[in-house]
Amino acid sequence: MTADVQPLDRDDRHDPHLAAAQALAPDLRARADEIERGRRVPLDLVRAMASAGMFRMCVPHALGGGEITPLAMMRVLETLGEADGSAGWCAMIGCTSGLLSGYLDPDAAAEIYGDPSGIAGGVYAPSGKAVPTSGGYRVSGRWPFASGVEHCTWLMGGSVITENGAPRLLTSGAPDAPLMLFPARDVEIIDTWNVSGLRGTGSHDIAVRDLFVPAAHAVSLVRDRPRAGGALYVFPVFGLLAVGIAAVALGIARRAITELVEIAGGKRPTGSKRILAERATAQVQVSEAEALVRSGRAFLVEAVEAAWEAASATGAIDLATRAGVRLAATNATLAAAQAVDRMYNAGGGTSVYATSPLQRCFRDVHVVTQHLMVAPATYELTGRLLFGLATDAALL
């Protein structure tokens, strides 16, 4: 079945979410220290982001969401990530979590995603156990890395369905581990987020114990098909998540380049008669960083556009195109980290201070690179496909 065709705007610069992100950026930038100290995005900023639709960019129009194009989402998250990595990350988690609204029964989707002020989040990893019961499941589990948990209204956790003490298996032989969605009020938050970077994301552990979850609130991104008809819900979920992660990394890298350029115009390195900008080494480093960011971004845009054109025109995206999105997202993320490294090194002693935005960029981007969707192991997955080898592509 062909998806509802949506025009591909190669600019997407007129999307209202982007204008809102640009308007929010100065406040996020000014309060970066507060975000880091508090290990969360302050609630007034969260409310401003929610009012601007940042957390509902991937929710269908039918539920009052943005149903944004992937390229427009990417630009929004770059803008927020450049202002503050943690704020960009929280927006990314919230908006990509909204994709599940396109998979749920319409009544369940309205219950969970219909509130304009609602924010969803959670963890895909199958760290929970779901025991079937009348009308649903009894769910228990503990999940790490629940970003933005303190401002979420609904949360989710991957949970292995267990029958007679054994996991239920899919035809592939993998455990059946759908996401279980539950109200945030039913979740225990365990304060674990004492980390090097993205400190402001508040990515604590969450836990539930013997919690009833209605069957309508369970979604498998492996075996279920989307109910919403727009092209956004044809786009691969894991691919879109990877694009969002890469966008935040690119924003952080852009911030690092900007900071270094500002520093270099006035800093005179110890023992030097020339300002930093006049030194050949710094000139090479900033050029390399600029090339890394722009080339990584260009490949990502190319891959996203190809997938979006396929989703809009045919309602299907082939395996090679899906792999291209993941490869491009991983490449962009790692290129962004390399660019930040160059700017951190070029900054010299200035970079080591906790008050330096370059240090925060360095710490933040190296936490981004640890996410499974953009980790270097992705190259093994896409490499197998490029060689034509049999590959489990469930997470593409």
Render pLDDT for 180-223 as a digit per residue (tens, 0 to 9): 999 999 999 999 999 999 999 999 999 999 999 999 999 999 99
C-alpha 238/C-alpha 224 separation (Å) is 14
The pLDDT assigned to 394 comes to 86
* Low-confidence residues of the chain: pLDDT under 70: 1-13, 267-273
* Domain boundaries, given as residue ranges, for the chain: 16-102, 120-219, 234-386
Evaluate whether the domain defined by 120-219 bears CATH number 2.40.10.170.
no
Question: Which pair of structure tokens corresponds to residue 316?
Answer: 């299907």
C-alpha 306/C-alpha 317 separation (Å) is 9
C-alpha 223/C-alpha 343 separation (Å) is 44
Please classify residue 212 by burial: count the beta carbons closer than 10 Å to its beta carbon, then call 0-12 exposed, 13-18 middle and 19+ buried.
middle
Stated as kind and residue range, the H or E segment containing 134 is none
CB-based burial, 218-233: b 16+ in 10 Å, e otherwise: bbebeeeebebbbbbb
Give 182's contacts (C-beta < 8 A, 6+ positions apart).
139, 154, 155, 156, 157, 208, 211, 213, 217
At which residue do the structure tokens 């509802």 appear?
A: 4
Which class does domain 16-102 fall in?
Answer: mainly alpha
At which residue do the structure tokens 């520093």 appear?
A: 263
C-alpha 199/C-alpha 383 separation (Å) is 33
Question: Which pair of structure tokens corresponds to residue 338?
Answer: 């390399």
Evaluate whether the domain defined by 234-386 bears CATH number 1.20.140.10.
yes
C-alpha 179/C-alpha 104 separation (Å) is 11
C-alpha 214/C-alpha 108 separation (Å) is 10
Stated as kind and residue range, the H or E segment containing 348 is none
- Span 108-138, pLDDT tens digits: 999 999 999 999 999 999 999 999 999 999 9
The answer to whether 70 touches 307, Cβ cutoff 8 Å, is yes
The pLDDT assigned to 5 comes to 37
Alpha-carbon Rg of the chain, whole angstroms?
21
Give 278's contacts (C-beta < 8 A, 6+ positions apart).
none
The pLDDT assigned to 12 comes to 65
